[in-house]
Amino acid sequence: MSFPAERPRRLRSSEGLRRLVRETALSTDDLVMPLFVETGSAKSEPIPSMPGQFRFSADTVAAECAELYELGIPAVILFGIPERKDAEGSEAWREDGVVQTAIREIKKKAPDLVVMADVCLCEYTDHGHCGVVEDGRVLNDPTLDLLARTSVSLARAGADVVAPSDMMDGRVRRIRAALDEAGFSDTVILSYAVKYASAFYGPFRDAAGSAPSFGDRRSYQMDPPNSDEGLREARLDIEEGADIIMVKPALPYLDVLRRVKDEFARPTAAYCVSGEYSMIKAACERGWLDERRVVMEALTSVRRAGADFVLTYFAKDIAKWLGGK
């Protein structure tokens, strides 16, 4: 069929028709809200490079989570900012660590909210790298036990999902084995399987104080031009026991997301990271873009590219726009 019998505009001629033939929907069900927690109480400190985002303490993050749950958001992911950092990042696996404490408070206030905990050492190490450092190099194998220990401690605190974001090889297998051995065979692993060495993490590193003190993350996070390698990374994590695989960042890597979803047909997430948030925010603050329309368009594109759900700092705003539960 071709013109004049076929007129694609016919199905665009009313909102009712557009709604009927719409292929992708972004729903509150698809959103995970990232939250930063630090020690102390009654805190909600604005993060300058991420307007509208805050550093919470355990009590205020629990109240925030109750609100997010009421808005219909199914899950949050937590990042910790510890008071003390050391070479190994030992605050990451302390029983009364900053995230462990927050999880216990959240579970009291919002027991049915899915709590995900990011597993990485960079917020906890004094050098800011995601693993053990020796002679200026980030070592893979000695890091695995620390990640496994951290994961078990987060599961023990009540995390439903652990999300390793370090990009060490073999960590999913090690974490799965440690969780199972500790009796947490139902704890879900969401792996940052395809995580790029991206410049879009800048505002997060300000927020979490986790910028590396020397060098960069290019010896462990992926090289942005590569996409076949992303499939290999995803395959390895699935073989090692990842329940959900993630591509990160989202918008600059929609092609990779589509390939990963098509190739593996697994539950797949995408992380719309801090820089993606802040660049939209900055343009909207200047009145250059219409925030609500741009955010809905951008996040819908992530779903269209194959993400089952999206980690986004816009989650709360979107849930409000979509009208709650």
Of the candidates 195, 261, 281, 316, the residue annotated as catalytic is: 195
The contact pattern for ligand PBG, residues 68-107, with x = CB under 6 A and - = no contact, is ----------------------------------------
Residue 261 is a catalytic residue: no
Of 108, 119, 128, 101, whose CA–CA distance to 37 is shortest?
Answer: 101
3-state class (DSSP) for residue 202: helix
Scan residues 163-222 and list those touching ligand PBG (CB under 6 A). Answer: 165, 201, 204-205
**What is the closest distance, in whole angstroms, from the C-beta atom of residue 178 to ligand PBG in the complex?**
19
Only one of the segments 57-65, 117-125, 146-154, 255-263 lies at the binding site for ligand PBG (rule: CB under 6 A); that segment is: 117-125
Residue 278 one-letter amino acid: S
Q: Which is nearer to ligand PBG, 182 or 279 (CB)?
A: 279
Query: How many angstroms separate the CA atoms of 142 and 164, rounded?
Result: 16
Cα–Cα distance measured from residue 129 to residue 214, given in angstroms and rounded to the nearest whole number: 9
Spatial CB neighbours of 45, under 8 Å, sequence gap ≥ 6 = 38, 54, 55
- The answer to whether 42 and 271 have CB atoms below 8 angstroms apart is no
Q: Which C-beta is closer to ligand PBG: that of 112 or that of 248?
A: 248
Q: Among 26, 47, 116, 122, indicate the residue that binds ligand PBG (CB under 6 A).
A: 122
**Rounded Cα gap, residues 282 and 154, in angstroms:** 34
Alpha carbons within 13 angstroms on the beta-carbon side of residue 54 total 12
Would you give the binding string for ligand PBG spanning residues 264-283, x where CB under 6 A is met? Answer: ---------xx---------
Residue 248 is among the residues annotated as catalytic for this protein: yes
- Contact residue for ligand PBG among 30, 88, 105, 118 (CB under 6 A): 118
CB of 174 to ligand PBG, least distance (A): 17
The residues annotated with a catalytic role in the active site are: 195, 248
